[in-house]
Amino acid sequence: MDCIEVGSEDCLYINVYSKSLTPLQPLPVLVWIHGGGFYTGSGNSDFYGPEFFMEHDVVLVTFNYRLEVLGFLCLDNEDVPGNAGLKDQVMALKWVKNNISAFGGDPDNVTIFGCSAGAASTSYHLTSKMSKGLFNKAICQSGVCLNEWSYNLYAKKRAFQLGQLLGKETEDELELLDFLRQLPASSFVNIKLPALDVQHKDMVDSIYFGPVIEKSYLKVEKFITESPYDAMKGGKVADVPIIVGYTSAEGIESARKINDLLKYLSNVGSIVPREIKLKVNSDVVKCIDQKIRDKYFNGKTITKNMLQELTDLFTYSLFTYNIYRFAKYCAKINSNPLYLYKFDAETERNYAKGNYKMDHLKGVCHADELPYLFNVTCLDIPLTDNSIPIIKEMVGLWTSFARTGNPTESRNITWKPYTSKTKNCFIISKTCVCCENPDSDHIDFWEEIYANVFDGDTKCNI
């Protein structure tokens, strides 16, 4: 078989791992959606090795989908309405539905799961009509559609910027499309676009191409038809069992770039979430900005010595609060249980924090739970007496959920569902425990800000 080329549209391959093609009973199916910010990554076995899952009676599926320009270019027309990469995912799920029985899998017991952009994708499938009936459970690890990095507000601007970068000055979308079609796919790999000329600049603007709301007037099948907030608020979420969670220090991934961020962070409003800035006036933005600086930096100027403080800010503003917000909406809407977790295990398999030279910071970095689910062979990550029990615990939780909808079915510990009253959260660490709202100090702070903006009078009276 020829090697798959990075940057090629010839990437739509599915990997299926099964212990038996003819089991006594059809096996639960877990379908992994890889992350990578919608611009990088793959479902390849060098990072997502199946060995840990194959110790259980399940079928594991991984796959690729088109990324960045090839997967998320949007011109707001019927030729390029956007979300091609997400529609690739739908096609993969349809393939699983129609064919997985040939690999011993149960097409009526499919769990989709992913991390980061893969988790956001998973949550989009929960809200999209295109995905209805293609899965039965979902697991979102460190990402949901409410996270501001998971959707693009300026896709068409980015498309014309791309044309300019590659040598085409035009404001005509069909002319641009004709030009882009003549270029080799390699032209769209590792591109660098300038900052957008928009009212509010945000950290997430560095994700040039991603999910978009497809225009209602287009006569094409649409994957996303409204904002994630409107979809969640309107109760348009598949009523299936869900696991959603986060690592204890998601923000290390962003805070490590502190030297590049200092100038940007000095601007008023830079640390205010984008969806808030778009809803309130500049005076309210200024007020909220100061509230956040008082909370995380004691009102002081942000310096390169504030890595821990910046990590805490980014953990909750870019990831964790909106994961709780997602959990809150689902628990309110759905009859099926939602399980919330916090991953806080640290052993030799936590590779990202060390790779970033951030070992002195507290907590578990974004995506550092992945080596506890998958056999990562492309990195030098040891398998030790410290990590093996956590691997067995986590894979056991995930496969139990895939099998029954309950992650602790027939296990010696109980993971209670999240509800609006109890806010149960399962801490995955060397010793697992279920507790209520372990990050209440941060979550309550952001809840007050968001509630005031989205449910109040948009004045800064918090």
β-bridge partners, 425: 435
Strand order from edge to edge, sheet including 424-428: 14-17, 59-63, 27-33, 105-115, 137-141, 242-247, 338-343, 424-428, 433-436
Catalytic residue chosen out of the listed positions 173, 250, 253, 309:
250
CA-CA-CA-CA torsion for 408, 411, 415, 417, nearest 10 degrees?
40
Q: What is the dihedral of CA 225, 231, 234, 239, to 10 degrees?
A: 110
| Listed residue (63, 66, 74) closest to 33, CA to CA | 63
Based on its alpha-carbon atoms, the radius of gyration of the chain, rounded to whole angstroms, reads 22
Helix (H) or strand (E) holding 342: strand 338-343
Cβ atoms of 427 and 339 closer than 8 Å:
no
116 is catalytic: yes
Residue 341 pairs in a beta bridge with: 245, 426
Q: What are the Cα distances from residue 187, in Å, to 65, 163, 183, 184, 190?
A: 18, 11, 7, 6, 8
Residue of 34, 56, 125, 366 with catalytic role = 366
Q: What's the rounded Cα separation, in Å, for the pair 318 and 365?
A: 13
> What letter does residue 34 receive in the DSSP assignment?
-
Q: Which residues pair with 105 in a beta bridge?
A: 27
Rounded (10°) angle between helices 282-297 and 307-314: 130
| Helices 84-99 and 117-127: angle between axes, nearest 10 degrees | 70
The residue from 116, 128, 270, 317 that is catalytic is 116
- Cβ contact 338:244 at 8 Å: yes
Q: Give the amino acid at 394.
A: M
Q: Which residues are catalytic?
A: 116, 250, 366
